[in-house]
Amino acid sequence: MNHKPTSITDPVRLEAAKELILKHRVKAGAKATYELYGFLFGLRVQIDRVDHAPTSGEFAPLIGKKRIASLFTAYDLVVEFRGVWKTDAEAKVVAWEPANNA
């Protein structure tokens, strides 16, 4: 099965993912600047912090396309969180979902 990552560009979906991550970070006490999350949708949304790194250079190998694609065997959505701004509210997110295999 092809799990090629497709970028999510819908600002509403990206903002929703960011809000879920921010809530998760508060509960989990997560403070890494760069984090990678997996979302699994079911009766409730399950969010797992898959990886993290203190710098963009250390984070870059963790977010390659092959790595993202491999995470779709366990997750419905993969989200990169970059909290390098003054507050988490200013953080940026990049999200992917598997390409449709029609």
pLDDT in tens, 47-80: 999 999 999 999 999 999 999 999 999 999 999 9
- pLDDT of 83 reads 85
Residue in 40, 46, 16, 35 with CA at minimum distance from that of residue 80: 35
- pLDDT of 28 reads 87
What is the per-residue pLDDT across 2-38, written as a single tens digit (0 to 9) for each? 578 999 999 999 999 999 999 999 898 878 899 999 9
Residue 66 domain boundaries: 5-98
Indicate if the pLDDT at residue 102 is higher than 70: no
- pLDDT of 2 reads 58
- For the chain, how many structural domains are there in total? 1
Residue in 9, 13, 61, 11 with CA at minimum distance from that of residue 34: 61
65 vs 88: which has the higher pLDDT: 65
- pLDDT of 6 reads 93
How is the beta sheet containing 46-53 ordered, strand by strand?
5-7, 92-98, 77-82, 34-40, 46-53
